[in-house]
Structure 1
Amino acid sequence: MTAGESPRAAPGADVRIPPPLMYAVPLVLLWLLDRIIPLRMPADGWRASIGWVLVASGVALAVSGASTFRRHGTTVIPHHAVSSFVTSGPYRVTRNPMYLGMSTAYLGAGLVVGSWWPLLGLPVIILLVDRFVIAREEAYLRTRFGADYDDFCARTRRWL
């Protein structure tokens, strides 16, 4: 900033915490809590197998959403200005494939580590992401793209 310039609001959505951290940090903390106060799941072989399938599926969905953004030349970083409005690829089915993917991967990771704590935390994480990330992104996109974004919201679900 040069002399005389005033600070401006961020050009993108007013998202202050990187969304992947909103999943990763609680997962690690709740896994550590399980080491102190165990809340273990039954030791079934299917649990970890299903968990790994969910982790892989969630990562694939999130990467697909990010790749679609990159193909359209727009950013995946919420507080940066978007350059285009994306409705193709996984965005035909959900407005938030990256968050849906991270939620699915988180669920799978909870099954893999075999603790109920991460699964009990997931609804809180989804609520926080919905309120402090998605709602802010939607407000920004509505301002940026107007009726086109409203039409997209009318035909595409937020999650699934």
Structure 2
Amino acid sequence: MAERTGWQKVAKRIRVPMGFVTAAVFLWLARPSGKTLALSLLVVGPGVWLRAYAAGYVRKNAELTTSGPYAYTRNPLYLGSMLIAFGFAGAAGSWVLLLLLAALFAAIYIPTIQGEEQFLRTRFGNFDEYAAKVPRILPRLTAAPTNEERGEFSKALYLHHREYNALMGAGAIYAALALKLWAAYHFDMTRFLHQ
């Protein structure tokens, strides 16, 4: 395995715990409205779908996955995570949260992706050829041409990678935001009625 730099090691190790901390801060600072919750579904929904779709193709460390969503972007799982995070920042109705999430993603995911690419480059001889055709994050409009056989979505891989957790997590965050919205509305109505 390729040697990771100091920050790459730290970023890879803290990305999941930081996600939980970020979610707690997010819920504390969020000021959702019915409109922001509804509009956020236009970004969060595709993000959850993309993560699920990508998980059904990837065989981590066993092969260089170049089919399905990997024919459009080298990192569909991270792109899906970005869509989910930025969609929820929109749901929260906070530019501060959006900027905080962008900074967090840059600090955590840029070094993580660089470290993973170093590993893939040493493990798979055709990685550089693949990387020349497929962008790191923002997807191509058409699938990259390849000499390899196109894979198919595998429900077993999706389940193996437990990607259903992203759907459950998104549902839990929406429930918490809806509860926060209800509580704010209820509190305002109670105060209004007692004045």
Task: State whether TM-score is above 0.5.
Answer: yes
User: Residues 21, 144 of structure 1: CA spacing in aligned structure 2 closer, same or farther, 3 A cutoff?
Assistant: same
Q: Identity over aligned residues, as a percent?
A: 31
For the 8 Å contact 2:12–2:108, the answer to whether it is kept is no
Could you list the per-position Cα deviations for residues 22-59 of structure 1 after superposition, in whole angstroms to 9, with x for gaps in the alignment?
A: 54532432332x27xxxx58x572x3222012111101
Taking only aligned residues, the RMSD between alpha carbons, in angstroms, comes to 2.8
**TM-score with structure 1 setting the length:** 0.70
Structure with bigger helix share is 2
Q: 1:159 aligns with which of 137, 146, 152?
A: 137
Residues matched between the structures, number: 134
* Unaligned 5+ runs, structure 2: 3-7, 139-195
The match for 2:21 is 25
Taking the aligned partners of 2:87 and 2:44, their CA distance within structure 1 comes to: 5
Taking the aligned partners of 1:83 and 1:48, their CA distance within structure 2 comes to: 39
- How far did 1:109 drift? 0.9
Q: 1:83 aligns with which of 27, 48, 62?
A: 62
Give the 5 Å matches for 1:13-92.
Answer: 16-17=12-13, 19-32=15-28, 34=29, 43=33, 45=35, 47-69=36-58, 74-75=59-60, 82-92=61-71
Could you list the per-position Cα deviations for residues 83-119 of structure 1 after superposition, in whole angstroms to 9, with x for gaps in the alignment?
A: 1110000011100000000000111111222223320
For the 8 Å contact 1:59–1:105, the answer to whether it is kept is yes
- How far did 1:122 drift? 2.3
User: Residues 133, 23 of structure 1: CA spacing in aligned structure 2 closer, same or farther, 3 A cutoff?
Assistant: same
**TM-score with structure 2 setting the length:** 0.59
The match for 2:81 is 102
Instruction: Kindly report structure 1 stretches of 4+ aligned residues shifted beyond 6 Å.
Output: none
User: Residues 108, 18 of structure 1: CA spacing in aligned structure 2 closer, same or farther, 3 A cutoff?
Assistant: same
